[in-house]
Structure 1
Amino acid sequence: MTLEIAAFILSVSGFILVSSTLPTDYWKVSSIDGTVITTATFWANLWKTCVTDSTGVSNCKDFPSMLALDAYIQVCRGLMITAVCLGFFGFIISLVGMKCTRIGGSERMKGRIAVCAGVLFIFSGLTSIIAFSWYANRITAEFYDPMIIEQKYELGAALFIGWAGSSLSILGGAIFCFSLSNGKDSPRRGNGYDTTASLFSSRTMAQNVAEDMRSARNTWIPPKQFDKNAYV
């Protein structure tokens, strides 16, 4: 139960962090490398691009068409939505499969449900970490490409938050799966203890029987000698 509670806290925390990156603006921020005077700061996420001038006023523009976007942005959108959906279903199923709840049926059934929740959290973390890594790889590739003379960007805060949340989701899901394997070992340990006790009792019984036989031999009484007239 302690492992399941710890796994639930880690998984839900990771799910919340991953979900919070979707509306976060700073997926990538304009680089000031080699710039002496900065008059504006550009930043963008999966849904829009914005600019903030020196006075602090921000202007944002949504991406006009989904089909006109770059392929990596479309793929990252799909992966992030998939990760959020998997994490949500994992959160619901984990509430049913945990031992501290009163729903879910027998202990064996609740264990299987907890494993399903752990698998969903693991896939959610893997899906989201692929999206964050792909987006970051595109930013770094454009930053170090000498042929690109346009505005270059650096990694935003949303990517680091997403990597941390994905790691927590994977870790929590793994603990969910480990909790079931740990629970399966306890009956085996109990059976081993019963077998040892039965062997001990068998040896004790055999020793008692041997002692009874020895005492019977020591107390053997010879038969009485009768006279001849006793048979008449």
Structure 2
Amino acid sequence: MDECARVLELLGMLLYVGAWLCVLGATVSPRWLSMSTSLLPVESYELGLWETCVVQDTGGMECRAYDSMLGLSPDLKLGRVLTCASLAVGALGFLVAIPGVSLVNGCEEDGAKRTLGTTGGLLGMLSGVLCLIPVSYVAHVAVVRFFDDTLPDVVPRWEFGDALFCGWAGGFLLAVAGLLLVLASRSAGREPPPVAGPQRRYQVMNTVLARAEYV
């Protein structure tokens, strides 16, 4: 494997770990959406996939988990399912990609290493897409509800929380990390054409002269 492929491979693996941790942080964070009201300026509300929280102006926070999953809105249900699937696929892709790394000696065959690296990269790209879908959908629903003209202006609206931006970053970086692993595996599979040395050229010349003498 050439140096360019090694750099892409190592960069992809490091980016893979960081992006997966971002997705994990976004999944467990209660700050997908936030809301503050003018009636209670000392309190704000945070909404996540697993719980809702009331944040005091003094820094205190009180959270309460949802009583039932079936009673959740469709965007939160989709967020739970796809973010958990993203984490599972991402972890599987990372475990598959580890034996395909050139620095790991567990698998000696180059063809098997390229296959494992490519498979791990594709799973990483899939994991990123699975994370971007629920994050974008929750953001879309929040925008639609925020600009809903049927609601009075005095009604508080949900706005983007920090977890949405963390989820966008994690999903995008997971897709980039998977692409880097695929490119590294494809680059490793390309072997330069053999260069004819002096001995090879001497054998070719002898073959040509022998054919000429036979004719």
**2:15 corresponds to which residue?**
10
CA contact (8 A) 2:122 2:178 kept: yes
Alpha-carbon separation, structure 2, partners of 1:66 and 1:196: 74
**1:57 corresponds to which residue?**
60
Identity of aligned residues (%): 23
Return closer, same or farther for 1:8/1:197 CA change in 2, 3 Å cut-off.
farther
**2:170 corresponds to which residue?**
165
Give, as a single letter, the amino acid of the residue that structure 2 aligns with 1:91. F
Task: Answer with 121-130 or 96-105: which moved more.
Answer: 96-105
Alpha-carbon separation, structure 2, partners of 1:54 and 1:93: 46
Following superposition, the deviation at residue 203 of structure 1 comes to 5.7
Specify the SS of the correspondent of 2:9: helix
**1:194 corresponds to which residue?**
196
Counterpart among 136, 139, 143 of residue 140 in structure 1: 143
2:114 pairs with 1:111: yes
**2:3 corresponds to which residue?**
none
Counterpart among 153, 171, 179 of residue 174 in structure 1: 179
Specify the SS of the correspondent of 2:46: strand
Give, as a single letter, the amino acid of the residue that structure 2 aligns with 1:158. A
Alpha-carbon separation, structure 2, partners of 1:197 and 1:31: 81
Give, as a single letter, the amino acid of the residue that structure 1 aligns with 2:64. K
Alpha-carbon separation, structure 1, partners of 2:198 and 2:123: 41
Give, as a single letter, the amino acid of the residue that structure 2 aligns with 1:85. A
Specify the SS of the correspondent of 2:54: strand
Following superposition, the deviation at residue 138 of structure 1 comes to 1.1
**1:84 corresponds to which residue?**
87
Give, as a single letter, the amino acid of the residue that structure 2 aligns with 1:175. L
Task: Answer with 98-107 or 76-85: which moved more.
Answer: 98-107
Following superposition, the deviation at residue 197 of structure 1 comes to 8.6
CA contact (8 A) 2:36 2:43 kept: no
| TM-score when normalising by structure 1 | 0.78
Return closer, same or farther for 1:123/1:196 CA change in 2, 3 Å cut-off.
farther
Alpha-carbon separation, structure 2, partners of 1:36 and 1:81: 36
Instruction: Give the number of the structure whose alpha-carbon radius of gyration is greater.
Output: 1
Following superposition, the deviation at residue 49 of structure 1 comes to 1.0
Deviations 1:39-86 (A, max 9, x none): 320111001111123444332221111111111111110000000001
Aligned residues: 204
Give, as a single letter, the amino acid of the residue that structure 2 aligns with 1:172. A
| TM-score when normalising by structure 2 | 0.84
Structure 2, unmatched stretches of 5+, are 1-5
Deviations 1:145-186 (A, max 9, x none): 122344311111111111111111111111111112212222
Alpha-carbon separation, structure 1, partners of 2:157 and 2:9: 45
CA contact (8 A) 1:17 1:161 kept: yes
Give, as a single letter, the amino acid of the residue that structure 2 aligns with 1:194. A
Structure 1, unmatched stretches of 5+, are 211-232
